[in-house]
Amino acid sequence: MDARAIIAKLRRREAPDAAEIAWFAEGLADGTVSDAQAGAFAMAVCMGELGEAGRTALTLAMRDSGQVLRWDLPGPVVDKHSTGGVGDCVSLVLAPALAACGAYVPMISGRGLGHTGGTLDKLEAIPGVATSVPLDRLHRIVADVGCAIVGATAEVAPADRRLYAIRDVTATVESLDLITASILSKKLAANLDALVLDVKLGSGAFMKSPDAARALAEALTKTANAAGCRTTALITDMDQPLAPALGNALEVAEVMRVLTGQAEGPLLHLTAALGGVVLADAGLVDDVQDGADRVVAAVRDGRAAERFGRMIAEQGGPLSFTADWARFLPEATVIHEVAAPRDGHVAAIDGEALGLAVVALGGGRLVESDVIDPAVGLSGLVRLGQTVRRGQPLALVHAGREDAAQAARAAVLAAITLSPQPPALPDLIHERIG
């Protein structure tokens, strides 16, 4: 087979067959396919579509390009994945909470993509934490602690590992086929008993319309269930950041406030909803509400924090992180308030613009080789419907330089709309699919 012929077929809006897709995935994994060809393939798929059969073929081919894990544990192996939003640090709360409820969570996560943050980048804001963990070590951590949050090693879905990095720097993130195959190739390689998907909808998500979010949720659930993994998706709101902070260390701080009982709000509510679904699908609870209640209980009584602390220590972080977390997280050198220019109600928040502002501060990547500054970002963000007075802070900018802080301040002012009238507030969970 020939990479050029497959790319040309896609350019003509013809779907490659399963054998061609499998060959291309293997070429991504072993280097037969060049970076230029991988980028052209991603762009051709983004401009057209593979169809349901092609999407499934690409998912399974990328899964099978590496090792599929095997488990021997006394409970079900489960996981969660978000399609990407801003201020979304659910994974860091949910993984230890599920472990405290009797599940085992080998969470294979990704890095920042486009305007959205990455779970691995957030975790690595904690000094010493390693997310590149050999598979034998991953097995030991999951067996001992109940959860681990790591990146895909070279042995797991290597075709996706390569294509994922290329998508981030070639403006080919927003493709139903590529998103589905990327998410599920890693998740199916973990050999799960149940999976819950958080499909984001709104200004801070890749999917801006209900139809697009529903199409992605259906593609994901159909593909995963067909592959033998019990999967449910929740379509959840991303018309505003989930947590009141964007940026790696700042989001870890919000996680720790939830895990240590200092805050709750939408971050805990969504964690409970997703956890309830996957615990029910895994057969650990009688119904979704029972599962959600157990997740909340595990957070409130400290069991989730205890698991999180053990996981951090096992992955190389400080032994006393949960007891003294604020001391370990890096802080920006320049911090400025963004003052409201007038009185009003917060009527709209452009989440994508806020995410891009954090990337510009150095909290994300413009090219694959960029080094992230874990301390920069935004905190204290206002919520939709909140009443503000002129001069009241809309957010705090955390930056490494004064000029970067001023640029971020202008971006925040442009991203937040104030209105004389309060807006209708969106539901946190829009729909359940699967």
The residues near 31 (Cβ < 8 Å, ≥ 6 apart) are none
Active site residue 79: yes
Q: Which of 56, 64, 79, 175 is catalytic?
A: 79
Q: Name the CA radius of gyration of the chain, rounded.
A: 21
Tokens of 25: 């995935």
Going 185 to 187 to 191 to 196, the CA torsion angle's sign is negative
d(CA 279, CA 384) in angstroms, rounded, equals 31
Active site residue 209: no
Q: Which of 83, 116, 119, 203 is catalytic?
A: 119
Task: Answer for the pair 248, 372: CB distance below 8 angstroms, yes or no.
Answer: yes
Beta bridge partners of 388: 344
* Residue pointed to by tokens 């006394």: 74
Q: Which of 122, 167, 294, 307 is catalytic?
A: 167
Pairing of strands 147-151, 105-109: parallel
Active site residue 186: yes
d(CA 263, CA 136) in angstroms, rounded, equals 36
Q: Which of 162, 186, 307, 398 is catalytic?
A: 186
Task: Indicate the burial class of 423 (C-beta count within 10 angstroms; 0-12, 13-18, 19 or more).
Answer: middle
Task: Answer for the pair 223, 60: CB distance below 8 angstroms, yes or no.
Answer: no
Q: Which of 56, 59, 82, 116 is catalytic?
A: 82
Q: Which of 63, 111, 161, 187 is catalytic?
A: 187
Active site residue 9: no
Q: Which of 55, 63, 81, 336 is catalytic?
A: 81
* Residue pointed to by tokens 């909803």: 273
d(CA 354, CA 384) in angstroms, rounded, equals 14
Q: Which of 80, 115, 307, 336 is catalytic?
A: 80
Active site residue 182: yes
Q: Which of 109, 182, 203, 271 is catalytic?
A: 182
d(CA 184, CA 193) in angstroms, rounded, equals 13
d(CA 393, CA 388) in angstroms, rounded, equals 8
- Catalytic residue annotation: 79-82, 119, 167, 182, 186-187
